[in-house]
């Protein structure tokens, strides 16, 4: 069985670039929030509650 990937020639090790000076420094710009805020989440939950109430009312109306 043959190897599908031919062996690459070895590259001699060279000096690696220096790392960043400091990782504890703050960022220069504010990053946008990645989570849902309280207002959109409340509106979504309100719509879900209204749909659930409507489905429950339809089920009760069908039983009568």
**Percent of residues, the chain, with pLDDT higher than 90:** 36
On whether residue 56 sits in a domain, the answer given is: yes
Q: Which residue has the higher pLDDT, 16 or 56?
A: 56
Half-sphere exposure (CA, 13 Å, Cβ side) for 58?
Answer: 6
Chain center to CA of 32: 13
Q: Is 7 among the domain residues?
A: no
Distances (CA, A) of 64 to 26, 50, 56, 59, 61: 65, 21, 13, 9, 5
| 64 within domain boundaries | yes
* Domain region containing 55: 39-64
* Residue 20 forms part of a structural domain: no
Look up the pTM and report it. 0.47
Q: Tell me whether residue 60 is in a domain.
A: yes
Query: What's the whole-number average pLDDT of the chain?
Result: 79
Report the domain count for the chain.
1
């Amino acid at each position: 069985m043959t190897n599908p990937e031919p062996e690459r020639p070895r590259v001699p090790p060279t000096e690696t670039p220096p790392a960043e000076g400091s990782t504890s420094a703050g960022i220069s710009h504010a990053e946008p929030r990645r989570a849902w805020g309280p207002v959109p989440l409340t509106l979504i939950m309100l719509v879900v509650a209204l749909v659930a109430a409507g489905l429950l009312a339809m089920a009760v109306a069908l039983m009568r």
